[in-house]
Every structure is written in C-alpha cells, then in structure tokens.
Structure 1
Amino acid sequence: MTTQQHTASYYAASANDTRQRPSLAGDATADICVIGAGFTGLSSALHLAEQGFSVIVLEASRIGFGASGRNGGQIVHSYSRDMDFIEQHYGQDTANAMGAMAFEGGRIIRDFVKRYSIQCDLKDGGIFAACTSAQLDEMASKKRLWEKHGHEQLEMLDASSIRQHIGSDRYTGGLLDKSGGHFHPLNLVLGEAAALESLGGVIYEDSKVVRVEQGAQVRLHTEHGCVSAAHVVVAGNAYLGGLIPQLAQKSMPCGSQVLATEPLSQAVQQALLPQDQCVEDCNYLLDYYRLSGDGRLIYGGGVTYGAREPGKIEQLIRPNMVKTFPELAGVKVDFAWTGNFLLTLMRLPQFGRIGNNIYYAQGYSGHGIASSHLAGRLICDAIRGQSERFDVFAGLPQYSFPGGRLLRVPLTAMGAWYYSLRDRLGV
C-alpha cells in the first residue's frame, strides 16, 4: 500500500497535527460512512456525530489532502454564481431559498472554531477589489443584491478608502465584507477531524474506496477492508476520481496555484495589508491574497484545466504578485504549490442522492470553503429526515460537460482564454 503525503505547501509545513491515522483493516460498521476527509466530509461527519450517529470517515490519503488543505484560506460568501443568476435561470423561489443559506457557511466555520477551540489563525474581514470602474459598479450591485438577501455587513470602498486596506495602486475601489475572513485551512480541517474524534468518530487514512455496493446497507470496499453503513456521504470532490462515474461526467477538476513568501517585517505587512484582511480581485481569472499568521504573504491565482500540474508555479504567480505589490520584487518565496478544485458547467454546486441512502455534494467551482460547511449541515439534516433545504440544491439541473471527457478541457480552456482577454482589456 502506497502512503501519500501532503503536498509541500506552507500549510503542511505549519500543521498543528502531524499524526497519521491508521488505514482500514478488516470489516467495520457504522450508521454513516463518509468518503473523503475534507471540508464537505468532515462538516457532514461532525454535524452527524453531534446528533448521535456513529460515523466512519474513509480518506484515500491524508486528512485535508485535497483542496480543503491547499486553498487560499478565505471565507467568501454566496456561490460561484450569485443569486441574480440563480433567479434568472431557476426562478425567484429558488433564489430566495439559496439566498437565505448563502451566508450560513461562514457562521458554521466560526462556530466550529469557537466550540472546539480550533487554532487556525482565524481573522475577520475580506475585500473584493475592483480593477476597473465597471467592476466597481458590479460590486455596488453585489452589495444591493446581498443586502436584499439579508446580509448587512458590507461597505463600499472608493479609490481613496481602499488604500486604507490595501497598499496597492491597482484598484479603483472595492467592497468590504466585514463578515468575511481568512484562516489556515489545513489547521481548520485537522481541528474538525480532532473534534469528530472527540465525539467518537473514526477516521481511516490511506483507505481509498475502490468499490461501492449499494443496498439497504451500503458496503464500501477498500484494499484491505470493508465498511457497512446505513447511509453514505460521497465527499471526494476533485479527488474522487472515477469511483462513481455519473458524478465524474458532470464535473471537471481544475488547478489553482498558490505561493507563500518568506516572513515579512511588521512594517512591510502594515504597508501591504494594514487591516490584515484578505483580498480577491474581481477579474474572471482572479488573484487572491492575505497574510498568514506568521506574517507571510500568501498569494494565489491562475487556473489549469483537467487537473494538470503546472511546471513552475512561482513563475506563473510571482508576476501578478509584483504587479500588485512592486516592493516585493526581490522577496524570497519559501513555498509554491498547486491544488485542484471541481468545476461544474453551471458553476453551481451539485447536491443529490444515489438511491435512497447515498448522498453527495461536489463542484463548488472555486467557492467551496463556506459552501462545503453548509453542505455538511444540509446532508446531516437530510439524513435525519429534514431534507427541504438540501432538496433546494438537489433540485438544480446537473449537466454533463459537452463532448464528454475528451472535449470538456479544451472547450472550457477556450472560455477561460476569452475571459482572460477581457480581464487584460479591462472590459
């Protein structure tokens, strides 16, 4: 059996918990078996364990190995498509229902952190930074839209006031979300794993599920064991592979790149991000950045399609970082890594059931941190017989990519190229 370690990221190098859990050997039973120890899987497992269910989590490699332990670490509310798009395509009732849940995921994260004393450098405040006047108008519209759905902790920033938050000349203004925030994502997911274990949940690492036997009791087979459970949660997301083909057909793994600088002096930190908030710009192929707990700038962006690993991550990301902060031209980069998120055709998450007792949530399309925590609560509610909110998401149509696996990468990459050109031209 191959033991797979975390990618060589800043997060892995600064993880609070480096314990390795055992792999599954032999047969086991539980009320619930979860495939995947990322945010979706552990939010589901933790919510279920809090309700008294026995839970086993099967992780193919390490806890938080995928996007949950590699991402930019930012709490960004709503979905990759906002409520105006949802209303236009799926109607007012669906938009209202999804809007009522759009800001819940961040509250779940903060509740977990507080209740289980998770040490993950959680800090408040996030900014959507506009590079053009058209983008600033879009942020004003976003503010009105979110306030319509009950979110009040928002403030528009003009070209002058945004300089109080970001020490860069790139931006014409932006939108401050005071309920946004940032954190160390791998330490959050490891803290959630420890919380689950404190409630009696069991996590097996190096336990890739190779076969699923459906039935009243679902049987999940790994290389060296089998778990029987009344209900299953499929939470492999971009790292699920072809285990369940009908899910793979409806989604595409995409890569994003991240780097972390050497620790910066207090003076440089204050000059770059004086309020210590996280930032994402408003381009289609966006940049995102923040300060870590030990004063590094964590800067990410770029997209590769089809889960390809880019050769030289620093060469891809550093030019954008220096464009934003020219004073960092000579800064040393200590870590550079990539990770995959899962894209859907409509850029909306896919929730659903396979049979009566297998639940899945996947495809957050780059907005997974808060939405995955919401998914865990909704899956728990659905298993408990309260499925109304889960069914709002499950009722959205789920489309396969045109052309199947052969054409989905080049077609989507062509679309990304078009929007990248729009970003460069400022239109």
Structure 2
Amino acid sequence: MLEASKVGWAASGRNGGQLIGGFACEIDTFAKYMPESDVQRMWKMGLETLDIVKDRVAKHQIDCDLTMGYLTAANKPKHVDALRTWRDDAKKRFNHDRYRYIERAHMDQYVQSSRYLGGLFDPDSGHLHPLNYTLGLARAAVESGVRIYENSCVTTLRKENSTHLIETAKGTVRAKFVVLACNTWLGALAPQVSRKIMPVGTYVIATEPLDPTRAAALMPARAAVCDSRFVLDYFRPAPDNRLLWGGKVSYSTFAPRNLAEAMRRDMLKTFPQLADVKVDYAWGGFVDITMNRAPHFGRLAPTVYFAQGFSGHGVNTTGLAGKLIAEAIHGQASRFDLFGKIRHRDFPGGALLRTPALVLAMAWYRMKDWL
C-alpha cells in the first residue's frame, strides 16, 4: 500500500466519526439505473457496511470506542413527515423495522435541546474514534502481511505490457492489479475520474471535558446526532465527556474565519446551556461528494479499480468498497458491477469554474434551510 502521507492523515483519521448505515444518496437514486431486485441488493449492502465495521472491530480488537445509536433530528415539520415516511418505507419496501420515530416529547432522552421537532433513531448505526479505527485496520493489515509505505505519493500510473507501473519519487512498484483509493486527493493521477467528485470542507470542534453528570444530561442515550438540513450539523459525545460538534460545511474549500468561535456559535444554537464551556480543539478536512451523492465505484481498465464519492458516509462505506473490489479481483464482480450501473456526471465548470459554480448552488440550498 502506497500512502502519500501518514496512515489516517486525511479523511480516514480526521472525520467526525459518524457511522451511518446506507448511502448518502436516497435509495431511489439507484432505482433510476437498475431494477427493483438490484435496488434491494443495494439496500442490503448499505446495512452490510455497518456489519463490516463491527466485525472488524471485534475480530482485530480495535480500541476505537465503538458506540451504537444514531439519531436524525427534524428541524422543520416537513422533516418530521420525511423521517416518518422513511421509517414506513423501510419497513414496507425492505422489511426493515429497526428504525424508531422519536416524538418531540421524548427527544430529551437523546438530546437536551428545544431546537428539534422529533427524530428517527437507528440502533444499528452509531459512532467511533475514526483515527483509532484506521490505525487498528492498518495494524491488522500489517499483521496479515501487507506492506505499507508511508510518505510515498504516487506521481504516475502507466501500463507496460501486462504490468502496471506505479511510480513514486523514491521508487516504482509493478503490479497486476491496482486500486485507487485517493478520494479528494486523486487529482491528475486519474483526471477522468477526479472530475466526478468535488472536495467539500467540513469541520469539527471538541469542547473541554464536561462534568460527567452534565455530559450525561446533555445526550443521555450517548447516540450520535445529525439534523435534517441540506447543510447539516452533526455531533456526538466522546468517552472523556467532551462534545464533538461538526458542520460549517464549506464548498469554497476555504475554512471559515475564526473556525473555533464560528463553530462554537453554531453549537450554542442547539445547546445554549454550554455558553460557559470552552473549545479545546478545532480541525477540518475534505469529503468527496458526487453530483448525485451516490458512491462512485468502477474501473479505469480491466485491472485498475477505483472507489470514491462517499459523500459523508466514508467510515463504513469504504469498508464495503474494499470488500467488493477484493471480490471482483477474485472473479466475483457481480456486486461491484452494480455500482457501475450508476451514471456519474462531471461537476460543471471545469477545473477553474466548478468550485465557484458549486458555491452558488449551495448558497441556494442554505437559503432553503433558513426558510
């Protein structure tokens, strides 16, 4: 494995730790490109992403504070209707009855805030410490015989007869199969693929540790939470009783000014009772989104695979991507090829204008969130 920096340096180590079943797109995004029987298979794979993480944590004894429970909170009456509809559709269409709608009167069991009108609880999703999980996977890989070369940025990928040559500044690797797992950092290595994703900045703060009693009252179920807006907030409790608050999405790739204070102001809209609490840490990074928010898996050549476009669901969907690519390399490509049926478009505007175009589009969605 050739790693441009350190294992866990980018999104795999710096993300918000939200473990969310399914995919970032609506399930009927898949229905545009495949029959209902295949949509059913996609649904099952969306749930399988959670099992992959849980199984690996248990098998390799990864100490990453895996905690189950996830709540999608409703900001507006229309979100209430949408969450109830999603619960009902999951049961009727996919025979999945695990989702539980939480009425507003009972929301204080999950989050001590008057901001939300209700929520949909998923007991099978949850949260974890992302860097510890990533490092645990790396340790397990090394123990299985994988050689990891850090600080080995790939500069060129080319074909020589039946062999792929993967070049770095310090050496060249010859391989029969290649997997590109670079997401927002793919760049010029495969421009025909990188044009189909957009780097979007997202940011997290960690408060100082709260008194245990106060922390328990703030989020009694210790579930991860996200809201229902297009430009959403997400947050979760940490084992040391900090609150981890994420959001402030930036489509310009520029971090907000005075990041920690800007994030803190957003946090206080939900938790005004934390006005006396300090912020100890603030950080950010990029997620790779596709135009339709569906994962983008495929091949550049018969033996060159790529997986990208996780659109905020990378903690668990990346595990599925690796599993499906491994199946394909071993000759069982039917599940991997399902994703190839999905049409992915380039972001408009080319290299110079696509980010400004996206900023304008997202300004419209922010306005809709406010209305």
Q: Which range, TM-score by smaller chain?
A: over 0.9
* Residue 182 (1) aligns with residue 123 (2): no
Q: How does 1:68-217 map to 2 (within 5 A)?
A: 68-88=12-32, 90-147=34-91, 148-215=93-160, 216-217=162-163
* Residue 336 (1) aligns with residue 288 (2): no
Listed one character per residue, the Cα deviations across residues 114-158 of structure 1 (whole Å, up to 9, x for unaligned) are 000000011110000001111011111221233322433211000
CA distance in 2: counterparts of 1:88 and 1:357, whole angstroms: 28
**Which AA in structure 2 matches 1:99?**
W
* Residue 377 (1) aligns with residue 323 (2): yes
Q: Is the 8 A contact 1:66 1:239 kept in 2?
A: no
Q: How does 1:12-411 map to 2 (within 5 A)?
A: 57-88=1-32, 90-147=34-91, 148-215=93-160, 216-411=162-357
Question: Counterpart of 1:160 in 2: which secondary structure?
Answer: helix
CA distance in 1: counterparts of 2:79 and 2:31, whole angstroms: 21
RMSD: 1.4
Question: Counterpart of 1:340 in 2: which secondary structure?
Answer: strand
CA distance in 1: counterparts of 2:241 and 2:184, whole angstroms: 30
Question: What is the aligned partner in structure 2 of residue 39 from structure 1?
Answer: none
Structure 1 unmatched ranges of 5 or more: 1-56
252-261 or 236-245: which moved more? 236-245
- Segments of 4+ moved more than 3 angstroms: 88-91
CA distance in 1: counterparts of 2:257 and 2:167, whole angstroms: 35
CA distance in 2: counterparts of 1:91 and 1:170, whole angstroms: 40
Question: Counterpart of 1:413 in 2: which secondary structure?
Answer: helix
Q: Is the 8 A contact 1:71 1:339 kept in 2?
A: yes
Q: Structure 1 pair 309/223, CA: closer, same or farther in 2 (3 Å)?
A: farther
The structural deviation recorded for 1:162 is 1.4
**Which AA in structure 2 matches 1:305?**
Y
CA distance in 1: counterparts of 2:265 and 2:297, whole angstroms: 37
Q: Structure 1 pair 325/118, CA: closer, same or farther in 2 (3 Å)?
A: same
Question: What is the aligned partner in structure 2 of residue 422 from structure 1?
Answer: 368
What TM-score, normalized to structure 2?
Answer: 0.96
The structural deviation recorded for 1:292 is 1.1
Q: Is the 8 A contact 2:179 2:306 kept in 1?
A: yes
Question: What is the aligned partner in structure 2 of residue 25 from structure 1?
Answer: none
Q: Is the 8 A contact 1:69 1:189 kept in 2?
A: yes
**Which AA in structure 1 matches 2:15?**
N
CA distance in 1: counterparts of 2:151 and 2:95, whole angstroms: 43
Q: Is the 8 A contact 1:84 1:145 kept in 2?
A: no
The structural deviation recorded for 1:89 is 5.8
**Which AA in structure 2 matches 1:100?**
K
**Which AA in structure 2 matches 1:209?**
V
Q: Is the 8 A contact 1:252 1:306 kept in 2?
A: no
Listed one character per residue, the Cα deviations across residues 265-304 of structure 1 (whole Å, up to 9, x for unaligned) are 1111112100111100111100000011211100000221
Q: Is the 8 A contact 2:206 2:280 kept in 1?
A: yes
Q: Is the 8 A contact 2:206 2:282 kept in 1?
A: yes
Q: Is the 8 A contact 1:280 1:286 kept in 2?
A: yes
Q: Structure 1 pair 111/68, CA: closer, same or farther in 2 (3 Å)?
A: same
CA distance in 2: counterparts of 1:152 and 1:367, whole angstroms: 22
The structural deviation recorded for 1:90 is 4.9
**Which AA in structure 2 matches 1:202?**
R
Q: Is the 8 A contact 1:313 1:338 kept in 2?
A: no
The structural deviation recorded for 1:88 is 4.5
Question: What is the aligned partner in structure 2 of residue 31 from structure 1?
Answer: none
Q: Is the 8 A contact 2:34 2:341 kept in 1?
A: no
Question: Counterpart of 1:203 in 2: which secondary structure?
Answer: coil
The structural deviation recorded for 1:310 is 3.4
CA distance in 2: counterparts of 1:403 and 1:93, whole angstroms: 36
What TM-score, normalized to structure 1?
Answer: 0.84
CA distance in 1: counterparts of 2:89 and 2:272, whole angstroms: 35
The structural deviation recorded for 1:402 is 1.5
CA distance in 2: counterparts of 1:102 and 1:258, whole angstroms: 25
CA distance in 1: counterparts of 2:325 and 2:252, whole angstroms: 28
**Which AA in structure 2 matches 1:61?**
S
The structural deviation recorded for 1:306 is 4.6
CA distance in 2: counterparts of 1:246 and 1:310, whole angstroms: 30
Question: Counterpart of 1:102 in 2: which secondary structure?
Answer: helix
Question: What is the aligned partner in structure 1 of residue 358 from structure 2?
Answer: 412
157-166 or 92-101: which moved more? 92-101
Q: Is the 8 A contact 2:29 2:294 kept in 1?
A: no
**Which AA in structure 2 matches 1:182?**
H
The structural deviation recorded for 1:91 is 4.6
